Amino acid sequence: MDNKGYFGKTKENEIVEFNNGDYMLMIARFRRINWSASKKDAQYQYFFYAIDKRLNTWERDTLDTIVREIAFESYEVLTDNLFPILSEYILINEAIYECLKLVEKLNPIYLNKE
C-alpha cells in the first residue's frame, strides 16, 4: 500500500494531499471573501479535487487530469460529506481514516494552537 499523506501550509491557505494508487486527492482551505456585511458565513471555504494520475501522460493532447472537484461552504459541511466521496476513490477503510486525520488539520480551531 503506497498511501502517502502530505500537509502543506502557506499563510492561511492550507492544502492536504493524499496519494492512493491511481488517484491523488487534494483538499484545500482558503479564506472566504465576504461580499456582504453578514458575519453568518464561515471564515473559510473548502475545495476537494480528485486527480487521476493515469491520465497525466504526455501522449494525451490535454493534461486535464481532474476527475472531480467540489466546493464546500464550511468545515462542518466538508466533514459531513467527505467519507462517502473518499470511499469512491479509496477502497481500504484504514486509508480513508488516514486521509480524514489529515483533513482534521484544516479545522480552523487548530490555527491558534500551532
Q: Residue 1: what pLDDT?
A: 42
Q: Which residues contact 27 (CB under 8 A, 6 or more apart)?
A: 15, 16, 46, 47, 48, 49, 78, 82, 102, 103, 106
pLDDT in tens, 32-83: 876 665 666 678 899 999 988 877 666 666 565 778 999 999 999 999 999 9
Q: How many residues does the chain have?
A: 114
- Give the E-state strand segments of 11-106 in sequence order: 13-20, 23-31, 44-52, 66-72
Confidence at 22, pLDDT banded by 50, 70, 90: confident
Q: Residue 46: what pLDDT?
A: 95
Q: Residue 38: what pLDDT?
A: 61
pLDDT in tens, 77-102: 999 999 999 999 998 999 999 999 99
- 21-39: average pLDDT: 80
CA dihedral sign of residues 31, 90, 51, 25? positive
Q: Residue 57: what pLDDT?
A: 64
